[in-house]
Amino acid sequence: MFFFPFLKQSKMSEYIEHDADGISVGLVKKKSYTYAEPPNEMILESGTRLGPVTIAYETYGELNKDKSNAVLICHALSGDSHVAGYYSKDDPKPGWWDIMVGPDKGIDTNKYFVICSNILGSCMGSTGPCTYNPKTVKPYGLDFPVVTIGDMVKAQRALLDHLGIKKILTVIGGSIGGMQVLEWCAQYPEMVVSAIPLASTTKHSALAIAFHEVARQAIMADPNWNDGNYYSGEKPKLGLAVARMIGHITYLSDESMRIKFGRRLQNKNDFSFNFDADFQVESYLRYQGSKFVERFDANSFLYITKTADYYDLERQHGSGSAVEAFSKARAKFLVVSFTSDWLYPTYQSKSMVQAMKKNGLDVSFCEIEAQWGHDAFLLPSKRLTDLIKGFLERVYREI
């Protein structure tokens, strides 16, 4: 077996954040698969060849006999394959979607075999700009090719082939993860039984591109970035921190920031009258920025944001038409947006739903009332959990 069996034990509850029932998938192990088919490389959408390609992944639950219970989770910009559970008993926190994935949870690991892999171009175990270029025996840096959402999905497909899975019961993800979900339905329609794009879009908007571009400029303005060659020296921490701070603002909303921070001051009763962090929102952003640089690679940030900016399902699969882009899809869809998400606003989800419906597809759409902005898809929500659980039960029953 490739997966470490989950431990349904209450001991783990002490490590669990936001976990309603205290049951986690337990201890898990990161695995990896190196895509090494002859000629040992992938041909990317850009035409460039890349290889060998390693894909880090984790699995939870057990694959059933007829291999019909596989759920593929696609992560967003800064996520990884560690979607649920703990690596050890000392692990301070579980995977990034532990509130949704586990025994009896929204994505029930008692029923489904869950797979999550780190996206191509990232820095969490899969091949990306910080991994070794076999030709130079140095980290790729900017020699890494710009990959597309299509390339990321192609690598995931290779992993599923390796696991012997021919059909995915559900492919699910939010934000850039949602783009991968849509891409799966267009690129490998015969493999996808159902799909759940959350807080996502068929094409990145000018506003979203603008935020990504400014974040990239912040990284590239850092002299330590050094055209991407920083792996043996100082890292571009200040630039990456600014980039992350920009991101964090876009993941929240005016309302959520008003509730979470308002104009509350940081440990003081008055203004500093200097450039210290006076307001709690300033401290929060500085903290988020400084924390991020410890775990994420600046070049991966550049590559993945560019990948998202390039994403245009309609251009790639429909000659500019959303209706045509979904014409080969066979999946049943659950599309979810959030009222306060201004990065991937509801109108973008509605527009994909319309295109799906024009193809006669089975589509459920829900706009969830939420004040937390784009981040809402990652936060505890009974509504979202119930929607996903119910949808999964239906599609599993209807196979």
Which is nearest to 174 in space by CA: 397, 387, 393, 30? 387
- Omega prior to 197 cis, within 30 of 0: no
Given the rule CB under 8 A, which of 80-88, 123-131, 272-280, 381-389 is the region that contacts a copy of itself? 272-280
CA distances from 77 to 120, 124, 212, 229 (A): 11, 11, 11, 22
Of 137 and 206, nearer to a copy of itself (C-beta) is 206
- Catalytic pick among 126, 175, 337, 381: 175
Contacting a copy of itself (CB under 8 A), which of 286, 328, 389, 394?
286
User: How far is it, in rounded angstroms, from Cα 354 to Cα 338?
Assistant: 17
Q: Is 50 in the site for a copy of itself (CB under 8 A)?
A: no
3-state secondary structure of 8: coil
Q: Is 260 in the site for a copy of itself (CB under 8 A)?
A: yes
Q: How many CB atoms lie within 10 A of CB 378?
A: 21
Q: Is 289 in the site for a copy of itself (CB under 8 A)?
A: yes
Which is nearest to 147 in space by CA: 33, 310, 12? 310
| Contacts of 123 by beta carbon, 8 Å cutoff, 6+ apart | 129, 130, 296, 297, 299, 300
3-state secondary structure of 151: helix
Contacting a copy of itself (CB under 8 A), which of 267, 269, 274, 319?
274
Of 10 and 46, nearer to a copy of itself (C-beta) is 46
User: How far is it, in rounded angstroms, from Cα 348 to Cα 147?
Assistant: 24
Of 34 and 272, nearer to a copy of itself (C-beta) is 272
Q: Is 203 in the site for a copy of itself (CB under 8 A)?
A: yes
Among this protein's residues, is 374 annotated catalytic?
A: yes
- Catalytic pick among 98, 212, 374, 375: 374
Of 71 and 352, nearer to a copy of itself (C-beta) is 352
Of 240 and 329, nearer to a copy of itself (C-beta) is 240
Which is nearest to 389 in space by CA: 193, 170, 160, 91? 170
Among this protein's residues, is 341 annotated catalytic?
A: yes
Contacting a copy of itself (CB under 8 A), which of 103, 129, 239, 318?
239
Cβ pair 23, 8 in contact under 8 A? yes
Binding site for a copy of itself (CB under 8 A): 46, 48, 142, 145-146, 203-207, 209-211, 213-214, 216-218, 220-223, 238-239, 241-242, 245-246, 249, 252-254, 257-258, 260-263, 271, 273-275, 277-279, 281-282, 285-286, 289, 302, 306, 309-310, 312, 342, 345
**Catalytic machinery residues:** 175, 341, 374
